[in-house]
Structure 1
Amino acid sequence: MNRRNLIKQLGLSIGATVIGSEAMARLADGTVVYEVPKNPLHKRLDKPVTAITLGAGGRGNVYGNYAAKFPEMLKIVGVAEPNAIRNERYTKKHGIADANRFDTWERVFERPKFADAIIITTPDNLHYAPCMKALEMGYDVLLEKPIAPTEKECRNILALARKTGRIVAVCHVLRYAPYFVKMRELIAQGAIGEVMSVQHLEPIEHRHMAHSYVRGNWHNSKQTTPIILAKSCHDLDIIKWIINKPAKQIVAMGDLKWFRKENAPAGSTARCTDGCAVERSCPYSAIKTYHDKRERVGVFDMPEDKAKHAEHIMEKLRTTNYGRCVYRMENDQPDHYISNIKFGDNVTASFSMEAFTSYERRRTRVMGSMGDMVGDMTELVVTDFRTGKQTKLVPIAEDVEGYKNNGHGGGDWLLAHDFVQAVSQQNPKLLTSTIEESIESHIMGFMAEESRKKNKIMDIKI
């Protein structure tokens, strides 16, 4: 349900607020439904910001869909995408001129600068080079996380952004989700006193893990980035952001325990389509996930003719990694990962990334001297120790069409809103996730991975 329909259904008058300045509605049971206020620094644009998208996959289409819905804000004028089907569809959706279509990101920069910004949604190992080139040529950049595969490359991007004076917005979209915005605001206001500790869980969900980090593009850390960065730099970043103190030390543990050849059940085969004897009872069956339930089939570039979908999916399962047995891949990403972090003022945090859950959506507990907070991104319950009063807050956020339950709490398009304003006004202060703000959590991730491998506590030096 989108925000407009929710407000309409509630049929509630907007009343005075006791926890913020935004519009709120209070239900009969005391639940507070709220939305974050519009940024007062936003201005009406005289013309839309123009951008070139490098990588027309899932994330490229998130920001492309924003441009399609808000053409007065953002116009996509170019695309670089080696997949011919994706290139064609993206071009058609945005009315891109043939001269501005490219099959590789390098070809974009053979032309003189022809847009305001570059949107980088290429694979993780192709973030660094195009970002550096974009900055050199004077583009502002919307950079999908992770920033780059190594700490040195992240620092290089930061240094060049400072040298050129260009904007680099990192897609740490949770910073823009109303749920986390409110959590940080309440902590800053002292709603639970002084923060002592944070517990944060990212439940990847078992089929999502199999799809992305066992069979999918991020299955091998050496070819992409470690899972703590590929998946969970969002979480390290949001922990850091809500605590709002410098990270000092980190220690991590975790391993690849289940998705291994020795755990393959008797009767299983190299592919789910090879007559596997246990395919029907396997929770990781590719046939059940992609063919029967039609989940996560966007990676297959589905044909327009729906009558051909079943045949197309089965062909992909016979020929790509998505049809292979999860126990027989070349994957090396840990399927469970825990980190403990020490921040300034002796605030501690524990983070757990878990593959083996039936559910998604991050869970967070914040313990303070005068109260606590417990939430799962759909609601946040704040308890005041002094009065014993509990307040339940439910955020409202703009739906991202086609990306239901993507786990970002509406942050994707709220980031896009701020990015186009920042580029239009040439004011990076409109953003909360600039490269300067975002690099610390990446360094936390690199240090966590080193800690996990070396079995030692790591200092975090920014």
Structure 2
Amino acid sequence: MNRRNLLKSLGLSIGAAVISTEALAKLGENSYGYQIPANPLHKPMAKPITAITLGAGNRGTVYGNFAAKFPDQMKIVGVAEPVEFRNDLYAKTHSIPDEHRFDTWERVFDKPKFADAIIISTPDYMHYAPCMKALQMGYDILLEKPIAPTEKECRDILALAKKTGRIVAVCHVLRYAPYFVKMKELVAQGAIGEVISVQHFEPIEHTHMAHSYVRGNWYDSKATTPIILAKSCHDLDIVKWVINKQSKQIVAMGDLKWFRKENAPEGSTARCTDGCKVERECPYSAIKEYHERRTRNKVLDLPADKSKHSEVIMERLRTTNYGRCVYRMENDQPDHYITSIMFDDNVTASFSMEAFTSYHGRRTRVMGSMGDMVGDMKELVVTDFRTRESTKFIPQAEDVEGYKNSGHGGGDWLLVKDFVQAVSQQDPNLLTSTIDESIESHIMGFMAEESRKKGKVMPIKMQRV
């Protein structure tokens, strides 16, 4: 019996694992804390699976840290990373021999297949080519989202995965977060009757927007991917997954309003370090963010010796985009973006992605015929219209070590655990985010961006492979 059928037979939804009502630990009247027990389809492993990481940045490190924490389940045996500092650190962490260290992903495939799986955590525009090559060489793949920058490339990867029979797990990690697993379970069990509509909100948080989508790697949508995919294919995916309906059409609006040259304050300079007269009062000061608060500094590749951090941070702010004025970048990503979606059975959903918030953490409201649910990833409150009683569900999820408050609700390593088992057992049914399950939300994103640019309602057409 595959995982999906097993969960259905238990009267539960598909999730990262079974959440049994009996396992809930009662915290107070109508309030429950819960954890996800071990997946019953997991089996003891005779040996760990082996993997090669392409891209040793933030996401590659998150997945690699799983192997460091659980060496009996996964071993990293190779790395491709052009930044020498990151390559050295990753190789040291995982004891990777010199012959399996590479400066480009292409060099990995010059060698005969030497691992079970490939972890692709390269920049967005570098997902397609290594994924296609890995499939051709017989590797299973853990593929960071988005799948690829274009609809055609996404469909090409899906077609080749089907042809080769290899496993491609897309890192839609919210599907594995206990919070969303419980939300899906309750919807599937009819806790609020028939789903009528959904409101979903992602507050990016203003300094996160400046860090990633104004100064950071995704500032240029044409060189990477549109923000609706780079940041929010998670959100389109989780709405679709929770209600378990196929999308039919989508309309979107949004633009880049604030982070523009014409909004640069008088007295501002090209860099925060150039004697900017308004730097002390600017909410986007790179000096305050990276040097004084010491936040979001992983991208600066700081040395292990903390006594050198101040000097290195200031040098990075003088020489990289992270020190540039947010009003004087070449950025083009919208800083506010809204979409409306029609699903089967006339279920509607609205999604709003907003840069200008002081907080982060996804918020969701699901409206049903017999009740509703409201949540913010910390708690989920379900109200029954018939009894007028509310029940609060509080997920007890452990975030990834070193990446607290990731916004993924503990889903990162729960995904990797399922991926390891899927590769070990050669059974993709242990995953809920295989490429054939995850591609629809990408098509939704591509159509949303086309709608935003053309001012049209766009149909969502799924061509089954």
* Cα distance between partner residues in 2 of 1:89 and 1:54: 14
Q: What does residue 3 of structure 1 align with? A: none
| Other-structure match for 1:335 | 335
Task: Calculate the TM-score normalised by the size of structure 1.
Answer: 0.95
Question: Match for residue 285 of structure 2?
Answer: 285
Q: What do residues 42-83 of structure 1 show as CA deviations (whole Å, max 9, x unaligned)? A: 001100010000000000000010000011111000000000
Structure-2 residue corresponding to 1:244: 244
Distance 2:105 2:289 in 1: 32
Letter matched to residue 282 of structure 1: C
Take 2:22 and 2:176, find their aligned partners in 1: how far apart are those partners?
15
> What is the total number of aligned residue pairs between the two structures?
444
Aligned to 1:305: 305
Kindly state the Cα deviation for residue 28 of structure 1 after the two structures are TM-superposed: 2.8
Deviation of 1:304 (Å): 1.2
Separation in 2, partners of 1:30, 1:41: 31
**Which residue of 2 is the match for residue 98 of structure 1?**
98
Range 392-401 or range 72-81, more displaced:
392-401
Amino acid at match of 2:244: N
1:396 is displaced (CA, Å) by 1.1
Q: What's the offset of the Cα at 1:22?
A: 5.9
Assess if the C-alpha contact under 8 Å between 1:21 and 1:37 holds in 2. Answer: no
- Aligned equivalents of 2:30 and 2:70: distance in 1? 35
**What SS does structure 1 have at the residue aligned with 2:401?**
coil
> How much does 1:36 deviate?
1.9
The normalised TM-score by structure 2 is 0.95
For 1:378, give the aligned amino acid: K
Residues 257 and 55 from structure 1, CA distance in 2 versus in 1: closer, same or farther, beyond 3 angstroms?
same
Distance in 2 separating the partners of 1:198 and 1:363: 11
Contact 1:398–1:413 (Cα < 8 Å) also in 2: no
Q: Distance in 1 between matches of 2:240 and 2:100?
A: 39
- In 2, the alpha carbon distance for the partners of 1:79 and 1:445 equals 31
Question: CA 1:438 to 1:22, structure 2 compared with 1: closer, same or farther past 3 Å?
Answer: farther
Q: How does 1:111-126 map to 2 (within 5 A)?
A: 111-126=111-126
Whichever residue aligns with residue 349 of structure 2, its letter is A
Q: What CA distance in whole angstroms lies between the structure 1 residues aligned with 2:192 and 2:452? A: 33
Question: What are the superposed Cα offsets for residues 395-452 of structure 1, whole Å, 9 maximum, x if unpaired?
Answer: 0112201111010000000000000000000000000000000000000000000000
Counterpart in 2 of 1:171? 171
Contact 1:145-1:230 within 8 A present in 2 as well = yes
Distance in 2 (alpha carbons) for counterparts of 1:304 and 1:155: 42
Pair 1:385 & 2:392 matched: no
Q: What secondary structure, in the 3-state scheme, does the structure 1 residue paired with 2:28 have?
A: coil
RMSD: 0.8
SS at match of 1:27: strand
* Residue aligning to 2:4: none
AA partner of residue 416 (structure 2)? A
Alignment of 1:220-239 (within 5 A): 220-239=220-239
The separation in 1 between residues aligned to 2:22 and 2:311, in whole angstroms, is 50
Deviation (angstroms), 1:37? 2.5
Answering whether residue 418 of structure 2 is matched by residue 412 of structure 1, we say no
C-alpha distance in structure 1 between counterparts of 2:59 and 2:21, whole Å: 32
Q: Deviation at 1:337?
A: 0.1
Tell me the residue number matched to 2:206.
Answer: 206
Q: Tell me the equivalent position of 1:16.
A: none
Amino acid across the alignment from 1:118: I
Per the alignment, residue 438 of structure 2 pairs with 438
* Aligned residue type for 2:114: F
Q: Deviations over 1:210-236 (max 9, x none)?
A: 000000000000110000000000000
Distance 2:415 2:298 in 1: 23
Letter in 2 for 1:368: G
Contact 2:206 2:357 (8 Å CA) reproduced: yes
**Alignment check: 8 A CA contact 2:399 2:406 kept:** no
Question: Aligned to 2:283, what secondary structure does the other structure show?
Answer: coil
The structure-2 alpha-carbon separation of the partners of 1:216 and 1:22, relative to structure 1 and needing over 3 Å to count, comes to farther
Most deviating of 28-37 and 156-165: 28-37
For 2:58 and 2:40, locate their aligned partners in 1 and report how far apart those are by CA, in whole Å. 31
Q: State yes or no: 1:318 paired with 2:322.
A: no
- 1:256 and 2:261 equivalent? no
Identity of aligned residues (%): 79
Give the letter for the 2:288 counterpart: K
Superposition pairs for residues 71-150 of structure 1, below 5 Å? 71-150=71-150
1:372 aligns with 2:372: yes
Please state how far the C-alpha of 1:39 moved relative to its aligned partner: 1.2
Structure 1: where are the runs of 5+ without partners?
1-18
Indicate yes or no: 2:49 matched with 1:30. Answer: no
Q: Is the Cα–Cα contact under 8 Å of residues 22 and 34 in structure 1 kept in the other structure?
A: no
SS at match of 2:157: helix
Change (3 A) 1:384 1:282: same
Q: 1:355 to 1:156 in 2, by over 3 A?
A: same
Q: Which residue of 2 aligns with 1:217?
A: 217
Q: Unpaired runs of 5+ in structure 2? A: 1-18
Could you tell me how far apart the structure 1 residues matched to 2:184 and 2:373 are? 11
Distance 1:131 1:22, change over 3 A: farther
* Aligned AA (2:52): I
* TM-aligned CA deviation for residue 29 of structure 1: 4.2
CA contact (8 A) 1:22 1:37 kept: no
**1:13-47: CA deviation from partner (whole Å, max 9, x where unpaired):** xxxxxx84462211134320001222111001100
**Contact 1:22–1:36 under 8 Å retained in 2:** no
Distance 1:272 1:247 in 2: 45
Taking a change above 3 Å as real, the CA distance of residues 211 and 22 of structure 1, as seen in their structure-2 partners, is farther
Separation of aligned partners in 2, 1:23 and 1:85 = 45
